[in-house]
Amino acid sequence: MKLTNKQAEYIQKATHRWNFKVGATGAGKSYIDSFYIIPQRILERAKKSGISVIMGVTRETIERNVLRPMRDFYGDTVGEINNRNIARIVGEDIYCLGAEKINQLSKIQGATFKYLYGDEVARWNEEVFNFAKSRLRTSYSCFDGTLNPESPNHWLKKFLDSDADIYNQHYTIDDNPFYPEREKEELKREYAGTIYYQRYILGLWTQAEGAIYKQFADNPLKYLWRDDRFPNFMRISIGVDWGGSEASYAFVATGHTADGRIIVLASERHYLPQAAPQEIDTKIIEFCRFVKEKYGYINNLFADNENISMCNGIRKALGLAIPEISVRETDKENIIDRISVTNRLIGAEKLYYTGDCQSLVEALEQAVWDKEQSIKQGKDIRLDDGTSDIDSLDAFEYSWQRWIREYDRR
């Protein structure tokens, strides 16, 4: 098995209580963990007291990023996560827990960690990380973790800069000579001009500021679909965002192709103060009929789950008017993940729009980072003060976020 220089360096030098690999996507950070680090750490502590834990943002990301690659090397010695959040790995029971919320840790309250592996650590809940710090309390306890950098004011960056017993290794995408050059160049092009180039390509902690979708804002006409013909869509979906206190309602329809493109087919935004729910239902039905008449069909409508009564209302109304449309509430993905995927689609020239999308085009052009709040909170914040159209962005994202893992290359 050939190793990069960085991977070999990590094996040699990661002898501290806290060991981090920080930097670019595709740089080989997680690969060496699946192949060598995790099983080695587990076996070294097999007969010692305490528990071994793998934490990721969710159980699903642990399976995708950690366990599945391990099975490629070790087969059946790496088991599935059971209903007690335990996976059998190289003969040991390993707890596998999501780190987005502190309540995920109730099952191991009071336990001592002899080993903890952390996936996507910068996306953890800070309380979870602080809990983990208090659990690594034996002389042989240790931690290995990987992450893409975020804001320089992020809580984890402050820990990495502290005087704790830390080995902190930095990666750029070019630190992986085995990454195909063509794919590497594609990634660089996809993230060019955005904070994601600094983070996912150069591996730097960079402050979010300015235009969010800079490549789009610089040349929106580049992404206009100019062909009279359309590709065969795997599905056509509609996202709906309820207006809340601003009485703004946004609808966006997108077509999804087998080769990973999203074509925005239509978008509308309405200001309807004091409108009755039935009036909103009528607007949505009219929008759906327009899309169906122009493109032939609609598979799904995903409605903002902040207002369940409105979701139930449009489900009933569409059930009578266009019953073939499946109406679901959204399971909202992290906003920053949605933004990252949108930027990647723009950079890869896999996001297009038709002439019926003026509201969404303006929303993408006007979207900016809230620099003041991003610095204050230590994480990326999208400006949402009424000066830009967040509703249309949300509706657009709701229309495809169920398949976000298909579009996310991090």
Q: What pLDDT shows up at residue 408?
A: 79
Q: Which helix (H) or strand (E) holds 85?
A: none
pLDDT score of 331: 76
Q: How far apart are CA 239 and CA 304, in angstroms?
A: 8
Q: What are the distances in angstroms from CA 302 to CA 10, 170, 284, 396, 405?
A: 45, 40, 12, 10, 17
Task: Please identify which residue in the block is written with the tokens 């309390």.
Answer: 137
Q: Which residue has tokens 């990252």?
A: 340
**Same topology between domain 5-201 and domain 214-407:** no
Which among 394, 360, 391 is positioned nearest to 243, based on CA atoms?
391
> Which pLDDT score, from 0 to 100, does residue 362 have?
97
Q: What is the pLDDT of residue 154?
A: 96
Q: How many Cβ atoms are within 10 Å of 220's Cβ, its own excluded? A: 15
CA dihedral 328, 65, 184, 178 (to 10 degrees): -160
pLDDT of residue 224: 98
Which pairs with CB-CB distance under 8 Å and at least 24 residues apart come from 245-251?
246/271, 246/386, 246/391, 247/271, 247/272, 247/273, 247/274, 247/275, 248/272, 248/389, 248/391, 249/280, 249/283, 249/391, 250/359, 250/389, 250/391, 250/392, 250/394, 250/395, 251/283, 251/284, 251/287, 251/395
What pLDDT, on a 0 to 100 scale, did the predictor assign at position 55?
A: 96
Average pLDDT of each block of 10 consecutive residues along the chain (410 residues)? 92 97 94 95 96 94 94 94 94 92 79 96 93 94 97 96 97 95 92 93 95 96 96 97 80 96 97 89 97 97 91 94 95 86 95 98 96 93 90 96 82
One DSSP character per residue, 129-178 reads HHHHHHH--STT-EEEEEE----TT-HHHHHHTSSSSEEEEEE-GGG-TT
Domain positions in the chain are: 5-201, 214-407
The residues with which 328 forms a beta bridge, in sequence order, are 302
Q: Degrees (nearest 5) of the Cα angle 65, 71, 77?
A: 130
Domain 214-407 top-level CATH class: alpha beta
Q: Are 197 and 188 in contact (CB under 8 A)?
A: yes
Say how many residues make up the chain.
410
Identify the three-state secondary structure at position 16. coil
- Give residue 410's pLDDT: 53
- Write down the pLDDT at residue 222: 97
What pTM, to 2 d.p., does this model score? 0.87
The third-level CATH classification (topology) of the domain covering 5-201 is: Rossmann fold (3.40.50)
- Tokens read off for 23: 């930097």
Q: Give the long-range contacts of residues 101-107, CB within 8 A, separation 24 or more.
A: 101/125, 101/128, 102/127, 102/128, 102/131, 104/128, 105/131
Helix (H, G, I), strand (E, B) or coil at 351: strand
